[in-house]
C-alpha cells in the first residue's frame, strides 16, 4: 500500500519499490476496507445468532482470570467477549446502548445489524455507493418505524391485576436460564416496578430497585423485599431476630474502651489490679450501652466490630446489634431511614435515630446464611429483589434476567404500545417497505429492498434456532400475513402450532423494537462510511 512504500532507483536508474518493513502499520482502503469491516462485524453477529429467541442457546464465556459466565443475554455475551477488531467493537457498543436505554432486545439488535451489513455488502458489490446504501437504509428504517407505530396496539397494562405486565415479563424470561421459574420471577419483577412507579406520571425510578444476589438456596427462594437488604447478621446468635418499629442508631465508633496510648505503661502485677482494669472496662461498655438506650434506640448498626464482652452486654441489655457494616451500606441505611451517622456515643440523641417499620434477620432453610432486612424505611420506597440460586453463576445470570424483565415492565408502564414478537413486527415492516419501494423511482430502491430483506433475518434466525426450515417458515409467514392482515403471525418457537402471536401473547414494547431498528441502522451507516483503516498491523 502507498504509505508503506516508496520509490527508489537502482544503479542503472531503474525504479523499484521499497516496502518499508519496519513500518508496522497496516492500511486497508476503499471497498476492501468496507468488506473487511463488514466481515468482522458479521462474525460477531453470527456468533449471537444461535442465542436468539426462546430456543436460543447459551454461551460459556471464560475470562482471562478464569471466571466463568453462562448466559444468552446479548449484551452480556458482547461485554465479556474479548473483541479486538475496532469495527466489531461498534457492535458491542450497539448492544450496550440497547441495554442501557431499553434493557431487552440486545441480541436482536446485533443480529439485525449483521443482516443489514450483509445486505449492504451485496449492494456495494453491485456497485452502489456506500452513502446511497446508507440513505436508502435510513428511508426504509423511517418507513418501518412509521408502520410499526401505526399498527402498534395500546394496552391497558393494569387491567386484570396487571395481567399484561406479567405476561410481558414472562415472555422476556422464557428464553433464559431461569425459564422454569419464569412465572414467579415475572410476578416479582412486576411487583417491584409497581412499588416504585408513579403511575400517574408514567414514571419509574429505577434507582429505587436494587437487585441483590446471594449464592446458596435455590431460585425458588428469590423474593421481593420492601426495603434494604444487607449481607450481615445479628452480632449475637441469641439476640432478637425481629425488631418492630425500629429506632436505629448508626455508629461509626467502635464498641470498645479507649486504648491506652503506647507511651503509657500499664502494669498489672496482681489479681486485684486485673480486676480493677476489668471493672473499668466494664464501666466503659455499660456507659456506651446506656448512651444508646437513653437515646431511645432499639437496634444498633455499627461500622466497626466489638469484642465478645461488648457483644455479651448488648445481648444482656436486649439491644440487637449488627457489626462490620460497610461505609456505603451505612450511608444507604442512613438515607433510607432518615438517620444521622453518629461518630461518638456522647452525640447520640433521639432525633438522630433512623426509623423503619421492621428490622429483621432472615435465614435460608438449612444453610446458616443470614441477612439483615430493613423494611418500611421512613424516607424511601426502595425495594430489593433478593436473588437466590445454587451457585454464583446461576445467581448472576438470574440477576441479569431480572434486570431485563424489570426493564420490560418499566417500559410498558412508560409507553404501553406494543408490537408482536416472533419476527412478526420485522416481517410486517419488511412487507410495508417492499410495498413502498414499488413506487420508488430513485436508485435508493435497491438499498430499501435490501433493508426489507434484512428484516426477514429475525424470523429466519428464530426458525432456525427452533429447528424449523428458515426460508420455508418465513415465506409461509409472509403469505399468511398478506392474506390475514388482522392477525399477527410469527415463528412458533415452542412448537405449539399456533402462529398468531396475539393468541400466544408474545409481544414486545414498540419502543424496544423502534430502538432496535434505529440503532442498527445508525451503526451500519457508521461502518459503511469508513473507507480507510489505519491500524497497528497486529489488529488488522
- Return residues touching ligand ADP (CB under 6 A): 51-54, 56, 72, 74, 104-108, 171, 174-175, 421-422, 458, 462, 490-491, 493-494, 506, 508
Report how far Cα 395 is from the mean position of its chain's Cα atoms.
13
H-run or E-run covering 317: none
Please identify which of the residues 69, 106, 384, 474 carries the catalytic annotation. Answer: 106
Sheet holding 209-215, edge to edge: 209-215, 383-389, 223-225
- The residues, any chain, with a CB within 8 Å of residue 394's CB and separated by 6 or more, are 177, 215, 219
Distance CA(431)–CA(140), nearest Å, equals: 11
Which lies closer to ligand ADP via its Cβ, residue 118 or residue 508? 508
**End-to-end C-alpha distance for the chain, whole angstroms:** 14
State the Cα–Cα distance between residues 393 and 80, nearest whole angstrom.
Answer: 14
Q: Estimate the crossing angle of helix 444-465 against helix 130-151, to 10 degrees.
A: 60
Q: Would residue 367 show up in a list of annotated catalytic residues for this protein?
A: no
Q: What are phi and psi of 23, to 5 degrees?
A: -70, 105
Q: Please, what is the minimum distance in Å from the beta carbon of residue 74 to ligand ADP?
A: 4
CB of 394 to ligand ADP, least distance (A): 18
Residues 6+ apart with CB under 8 A from 522: none
Distance, CA of 424 to chain centre: 25
Catalytic residue among 73, 99, 104, 291: 73
Distance CA(516)–CA(101), nearest Å, equals: 10
In the complex, residue closest to ligand ADP by CB:
421
State the minimum distance, in angstroms, from the CB of residue 98 to ligand ADP.
Answer: 8
The percent helix, strand, coil of the chain (3-state, each to 5) is 50, 20, 30
Partner residues linked to 377 by β-bridges: 356
The DSSP bridge pattern shows strands 5-9 and 59-62 to be: unpaired
- With H, G, I as helix, E, B as strand and everything else as coil, classify residue 439: coil
Per the structure block, which three cell numbers stand in for 123? Answer: 449492494
Contact 175, 54 (CB under 8 A): yes
Q: Which is nearer to ligand ADP, 54 or 389 (CB)?
A: 54
Give me the catalytic one of 69, 71, 76, 107.
107
Nearer Cβ to ligand ADP (139/147): 147
Closest contact distance (angstroms) between CB of 140 and ligand ADP is 19
Strands of 21-139 (E only): list them. 25-29, 59-62, 68-71
* Catalytic site includes residue 380: no
> Please, which residue, 53 or 354, has the CB nearer to ligand ADP?
53
Residues 6+ apart with CB under 8 A from 197: 203, 204, 410, 413
* Nearest distance in Å: CB 540, ligand ADP: 31
Q: How far apart are CA 472 and CA 478, in angstroms?
A: 10
Is 453 among the residues known to form the active site?
Answer: no
CB of 173 to ligand ADP, least distance (A): 9
Least distance from C-beta 53 to ligand ADP, angstroms?
4
Of the listed 396, 404, 457, 500, which one is catalytic? Answer: 404
Active site residue 500: no
Task: Give the whole-angstrom CA distance, residue 326 versus residue 439.
Answer: 66
Contacts (Cβ under 8 Å, ≥6 apart) of 271: none
Question: Sign of the CA dihedral 8, 9, 15, 21?
Answer: negative
Name which of 104 and 464 has its Cβ closer to ligand ADP.
104
Minimum Å gap between C-beta 376 and ligand ADP is: 35
- Cα→Cα distances 234→324, 342, 359, Å: 11, 20, 11
Contact 501, 488 (CB under 8 A): yes
- Supply the minimum distance, in Å, between the C-beta of residue 474 and ligand ADP: 13
Catalytic residues: 73, 106-107, 404
Amino acid at each position: 500500500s502507498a504509505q508503506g512504500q516508496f520509490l527508489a532507483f537502482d544503479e542503472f536508474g531503474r525504479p523499484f519499490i521499497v516496502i518499508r518493513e519496519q513500518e508496522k502499520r497496516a492500511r486497508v482502503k476503499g471497498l476492501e476496507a468496507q468488506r473487511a469491516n463488514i466481515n468482522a462485524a458479521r462474525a460477531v453477529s453470527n456468533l449471537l445468532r444461535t442465542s436468539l429467541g426462546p430456543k436460543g442457546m447459551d454461551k460459556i464465556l471464560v475470562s482471562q482470570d478464569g471466571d466463568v459466565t453462562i448466559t444468552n443475554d446479548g449484551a452480556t455475551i458482547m461485554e465479556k467477549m474479548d473483541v479486538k477488531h475496532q469495527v466489531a467493537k461498534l457492535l458491542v457498543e450497539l448492544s450496550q446502548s440497547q441495554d442501557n436505554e431499553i434493557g431487552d432486545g440486545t441480541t436482536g439488535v446485533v443480529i439485525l445489524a449483521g443482516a443489514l451489513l450483509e445486505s449492504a455488502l451485496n449492494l456495494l458489490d453491485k456497485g452502489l455507493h456506500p452513502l446511497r446504501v446508507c440513505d436508502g437504509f435510513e428511508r426504509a428504517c423511517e418507513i418501518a418505524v412509521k408502520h410499526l407505530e401505526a399498527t402498534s396496539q395500546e394496552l391497558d397494562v393494569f387491567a386484570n391485576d396487571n395481567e399484561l405486565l406479567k405476561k410481558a415479563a414472562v415472555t422476556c424470561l422464557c428464553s433464559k436460564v431461569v425459564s422454569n421459574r419464569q412465572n414467579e420471577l415475572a410476578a416479582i419483577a412486576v411487583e417491584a416496578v409497581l412499588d416504585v412507579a408513579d403511575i400517574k406520571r408514567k414514571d419509574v425510578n429505577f434507582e429505587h430497585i436494587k437487585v441483590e444476589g446471594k449464592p446458596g438456596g435455590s431460585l425458588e427462594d428469590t423474593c421481593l423485599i420492601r426495603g434494604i437488604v444487607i449481607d450481615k447478621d445479628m452480632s449475637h446468635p441469641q439476640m432478637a431476630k425481629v425488631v418492630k418499629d425500629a429506632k436505629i442508631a448508626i455508629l461509626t465508633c467502635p464498641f470498645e474502651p479507649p486504648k491506652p496510648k503506647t507511651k503509657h505503661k500499664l502494669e498489672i502485677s496482681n489479681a486485684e489490679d486485673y480486676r480493677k482494669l476489668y471493672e473499668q472496662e466494664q464501666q466503659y461498655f455499660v456507659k456506651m450501652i446506656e448512651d444508646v438506650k437513653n437515646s431511645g434506640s432499639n437496634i444498633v448498626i455499627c461500622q466497626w466490630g466489638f469484642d465478645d464482652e461488648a457483644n455479651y452486654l448488648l445481648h444482656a441489655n436486649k439491644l440487637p446489634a449488627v457489626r462490620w457494616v460497610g461505609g456505603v451500606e451505612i450511608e444507604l441505611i442512613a438515607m433510607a431511614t432518615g438517620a444521622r451517622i453518629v461518630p461518638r456515643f456522647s452525640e447520640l440523641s433521639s432525633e438522630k435515630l433512623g426509623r423503619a417499620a421492621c428490622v429483621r434477620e432472615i435465614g435460608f432453610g438449612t444453610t446458616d446464611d443470614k441477612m439483615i432486612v430493613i423494611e418500611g424505611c421512613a424516607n424511601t420506597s426502595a425495594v430489593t429483589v433478593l436473588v437466590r440460586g445454587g451457585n454464583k453463576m446461576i445467581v448472576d445470570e438470574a440477576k441479569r434476567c431480572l434486570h431485563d424483565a424489570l426493564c420490560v415492565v418499566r417500559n410498558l408502564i412508560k409507553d404501553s404500545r406494543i408490537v408482536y414478537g416472533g419476527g412478526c413486527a420485522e416481517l410486517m415492516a419488511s412487507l410495508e417497505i417492499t410495498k413502498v419501494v414499488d413506487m420508488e423511482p430513485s436508485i435508493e430502491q435497491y438499498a430499501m429492498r435490501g433493508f426489507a430483506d434484512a428484516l426477514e433475518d429475525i424470523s429466519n434466525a428464530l426458525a432456525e434456532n427452533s429447528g424449523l426450515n428458515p426460508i420455508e417458515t418465513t415465506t409461509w409467514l409472509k403469505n399468511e400475513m398478506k392474506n390475514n392482515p388482522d392477525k399477527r403471525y410469527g415463528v412458533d418457537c415452542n412448537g405449539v402450532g399456533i402462529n398468531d402471536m396475539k393468541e400466544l401473547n408474545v409481544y414486545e414494547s414498540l419502543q424496544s423494537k423502534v430502538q432496535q431498528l434505529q440503532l442498527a441502522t445508525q451503526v451500519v451507516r457508521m461502518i459503511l462510511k469508513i473507507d480507510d483503516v489505519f491500524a497497528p498491523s497486529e489488529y488488522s
